[in-house]
Chain A
Amino acid sequence: MSRERLHPAVWMTYYLLVLAVAMFYWNPLLQGFALLGGMLYFAAIAGGRAFLSELGFTLPLAVLVAITNPLFSHAGATPLFFMNGNPITLEAVLYGILLAGMILSVLYWCKCLSMVMTTDRLLTLFGGFLPKLALTFSMTLRFFPRLFRQMKAMEAAGKTSGLLADDSFFDRLRGRMKLLPALIGWSLERAMETSASMKARGYGLPGRTNAVCRKMRGEDVVFLAVILLLGGLTLLSGILGDLSFWFYPRISDLPTGGISLMGYVSYGLLCFLPVILEWKEWYQWHLLRKKIPLS
C-alpha cells in the first residue's frame, strides 16, 4: 500500500499542504475538493462501516455548525427573516454551510492522518533529524497508558477500602484530588526507574545512533516532487489573489481566470491523489489475484 510504502516525510508534507489550503482559502470549490477527497480517502482506508459510523457523528456536527453561524452572525445584505430584531441573512447561512464543510474536511483529513501516521512512522519521521524528540515522544507514549492504569487501580483500591466514595460527582472530585499527589509521586518514581534502566543500558554515552532512520527512495522523491508541485501551484494561484472568495456583505462570484483554474486543477488533483493511489493499487491486486491459478 502506498500509505505504508512511502516515506513518512512525504505524507507529512502532503497533509500539511492539504490542511493549510483547506483552512486558509475560503473558496467553495477548493473546500468541496478537500471535503470530498478527505471523505473518500477515509472511506477507502477505514472501510465502509467505519465511514458510516463516522458519518453519524460528523453529519449532525455539520448541521449544528451550519445552524449556529447565522444565529450569531448577522452580517450580509440579504436578510431572509428577522429573529429578535436581528436579521438572519442568506450570506450567513451559506457561510455557515461552508464553515461546516471546512470543519468536516479538517476532521476527515486529521482522521486519515492519524491512521496513516502511526507512532512508528512518526518516530521514523523525527528519528532522522530530531532523535531526542523522537525518544521523548516514544517514552511519553509508553508512560501515559501506565499512568491511566495506575489511576484506575488506585480508584478501585480506594473504593473497595471505603476511603474513596463515589456516590456523587463531588465525592469523585474529592477522590481525584486525593489521588493527585499520589499519582505525581508514582510518576516521579517511574521516571527514576526509567532513568536507571536507561543508564544501565548506556544512555548518555557519546555518539548515540538511531536505529529508526529510513532513507528516501526514488519513489518517495517522485511523489514528494508531485505533491510539492501541485501544492505550490495552488499556493501560487492563491498568492496571486485568484482564489479569493467572500460572503459578506454579498456573495462574490467564483473567480474563473486562467490562474484560478490552475489553482482549482492542482488542488483538486492534490486532494484526490491518495484515493486514486488506493484505488489503483486495489485494482492491481484484483488483476493479480485473477492471475493466481486456483489449484
Chain B
Amino acid sequence: MKGFKKDLLIIFALVLLVAVLILGTDIQSVDEYYLTHIDDIGPDSETVTLSIRCDTVLANLDKLDPALREGGYVPEDGIIFPETKLVLREGDTVFDILSRATRYYRIQMEYQGADETALGTAYVEGLGNLYQFSCGEGSGWIFFVNGKRPSEGASHCKLADGDRIEWIYTCRFGADLPDHYQGVVK
C-alpha cells in the first residue's frame, strides 16, 4: 500500500508539472495584464461595436445562484458592457474583440481555449462573474453578429467593418431572448 500511495503522489505531481509546462508559465501581474494597448479610433480605422448584456437574468432572479444576488454582479438594467465602438484589426474574430475589450475595460472573463473544446473553437464560460449554469440549467453566453447567430464559433467568426457584436446571457437555451432574436435561434 505504501508503494501505491507513493506512486499516486508522483503521478499526480507529474501530471501537474506536465500541465504547467504545456500551458506555459507566462506570469503577469494584474496591472500588467490589464494594461492592454487598444487602438485609438482614427478617421481611417475600421470599427465594430460590442455590447454584453444579461437582461434575461432579471426575469429569472429566483433561479440565480445565491452567491450572485448581491454585490452588483447583475446590473439593474442588465447591461454589463454598453454598446461601444472598437477598432477592428486585420483578421480579428469575435473572440479577439471580446478578449481585447474585457482586458481593457477590466471585465472578468473565463473561457476554454480553442484547443480544449470538442468543437475546436473557444468557448466563453463566464463574463462579469456570470457563468454558464449560474442561472438555471439552460443558462450560458451566446453571441450575435448584426442580430444573427453565425454558424462558426467565436474564435472562427471573422468580422467586417461596421459589424455589431452582442454577447447575451440566456437562461433557457436562447428561448427567452427578446423577440427580434427569436427567429435566429432554434
Question: How many A residues, CB 8 Å from partner?
Answer: 26
A81 proximity list for chain B (CB < 8 A): 27-30, 33
User: Given B24, B25, B32, B129, which contacts A248 in the complex, CB threshold below 8 Å?
Assistant: B129
User: Given B5, B24, B131, which contacts A75 in the complex, CB threshold below 8 Å?
Assistant: B131
* A276, CB-defined interface residue at 8 Å: no
User: Given B5, B12, B32, which contacts A82 in the complex, CB threshold below 8 Å?
Assistant: B32
Given A57-B9, A75-B131: A250 and B27 interface contact (C-beta under 8 Å): no
B30 proximity list for chain A (CB < 8 A): 79-82, 87
Q: In whole Å, how far is B28's beta carbon from the nearest beta carbon of chain A?
A: 4
Whether A246 pairs with B126 at a CB distance below 8 angstroms is no
Q: In whole Å, how far is B100's beta carbon from the nearest beta carbon of chain A?
A: 11
A86 proximity list for chain B (CB < 8 A): 110
A61 proximity list for chain B (CB < 8 A): 8-9, 12
Q: Considering the chains assembled together, what is the distance between the CA atoms of A244 and B88 in angstroms?
A: 45
Whether A83 pairs with B27 at a CB distance below 8 angstroms is yes
Residue of B nearest to A67 (CB): B16
Whether B23 pairs with A84 at a CB distance below 8 angstroms is yes
Binary contact readout A76-107 vs B (1 if CB under 8 angstroms, 0 otherwise): 01011111111100000000000000000000
Stretch binding the partner chain, chosen from B67-75, B77-85, B151-159, B175-183: B67-75
Q: In whole Å, how far is A137's beta carbon from the nearest beta carbon of chain B?
A: 21
Q: Considering the chains assembled together, what is the distance between the CA atoms of A42 and B31 in angstroms?
A: 46
Whether A64 pairs with B12 at a CB distance below 8 angstroms is yes
Whether A71 pairs with B20 at a CB distance below 8 angstroms is yes
B27 proximity list for chain A (CB < 8 A): 81-83
Residue of A nearest to B131 (CB): A75
Whether B129 pairs with A84 at a CB distance below 8 angstroms is no
Q: Considering the chains assembled together, what is the distance between the CA atoms of A206 and B129 in angstroms?
A: 66
Q: Considering the chains assembled together, what is the distance between the CA atoms of A252 and B33 in angstroms?
A: 26
* B13, CB-defined interface residue at 8 Å: yes
Q: Considering the chains assembled together, what is the distance between the CA atoms of A61 and B6 in angstroms?
A: 10
User: Given A57, A68, A248, which contacts B67 in the complex, CB threshold below 8 Å?
Assistant: A248
Residue of B nearest to A54 (CB): B5
Whether A75 pairs with B110 at a CB distance below 8 angstroms is yes
* B26, CB-defined interface residue at 8 Å: yes
Q: Considering the chains assembled together, what is the distance between the CA atoms of A253 and B33 in angstroms?
A: 29
* A218, CB-defined interface residue at 8 Å: no
Q: Considering the chains assembled together, what is the distance between the CA atoms of A51 and B27 in angstroms?
A: 38
A244 proximity list for chain B (CB < 8 A): 66
Residue of B nearest to A79 (CB): B30
Binary contact readout B124-152 vs A (1 if CB under 8 angstroms, 0 otherwise): 00100101000000000000000000000
User: Given B29, B71, B110, which contacts A74 in the complex, CB threshold below 8 Å?
Assistant: B110
Please list 21 pairs of residues, one from A and one from B, whose beta carbons are closer than 8 Å in the complex, sorted by A's number.
Answer: A61-B12, A64-B12, A64-B13, A68-B16, A71-B16, A75-B110, A75-B129, A75-B131, A81-B27, A81-B29, A81-B33, A82-B29, A83-B28, A84-B26, A85-B26, A85-B99, A246-B65, A248-B67, A249-B68, A249-B108, A250-B71
Give 4 new A-B contacts, CB below 8 A, not counting A247-B67, A248-B129: A60-B13, A75-B126, A249-B73, A252-B67
